[in-house]
Amino acid sequence: MLGYIGPSNKRAQHRMPELPEVETTLRGIAPHVERQKVTAVRLYDRRLRWPVPSDLPDRLVGRIVDSVERRSKYLLFRLGQDTLIVHFGMTGSMRVYRRAPALRRHDHIDLEFGNGVVLRYHDPRRFGAMLWASGDAGNHPLLAALGPEPLAQAFDADHLFKATRTRSAAIKLALMDSHLVVGVGNIYANEALFRAGILPTRAAKRISRLRLGRLVDAVRHTLTDAIAKGGSTLRDYVDSEGRPGFFQNGYFVYGRAGEPCRACGRRIRGLRIGGRASYFCPHCQR
CB of 9 to DNA, least distance (A): 9
Q: Does 275 bind DNA (CB under 7 A)?
A: yes
**Residue 27 or 106 with smaller CB distance to DNA:** 106
Q: Any bridge partners for residue 107, and if so which?
A: 122
Please return the burial class of 108, using the count of CB atoms within 10 Å of its CB with bins 0-12, 13-18 and 19+. buried
Catalytic residue among 15, 70, 73, 172: 73
Of residues 108-147, those binding DNA (CB under 7 A): 124-127, 141-142
Q: Which of 106, 214, 220, 229 binds DNA (CB under 7 A)?
A: 106
Q: Does 57 bind DNA (CB under 7 A)?
A: no
Residue 36 Cα distances to 24, 63, 77, angstroms: 20, 8, 11
Size of the site for DNA (CB under 7 A): 41
**Residue 11 or 286 with smaller CB distance to DNA:** 11
> What are the residues whose beta carbons fall under 8 Å from the beta carbon of 252, sequence distance 6 or more?
191, 194, 195, 261, 262, 263, 281
Distance CA 242, CA 222 (A): 23
Of residues 191-250, those binding DNA (CB under 7 A): none
**Residue 107 or 112 with smaller CB distance to DNA:** 107
Residue 205 appears among annotated catalytic residues: no
Residue 37 appears among annotated catalytic residues: no
Residue 17 appears among annotated catalytic residues: yes
Q: Does 97 bind DNA (CB under 7 A)?
A: no
187-211 as b/e: b if 16+ CB within 10 A: bbbbbbbbbbbbbbbbebeebeeeb
- Annotated catalytic residues are 17-18, 73, 276
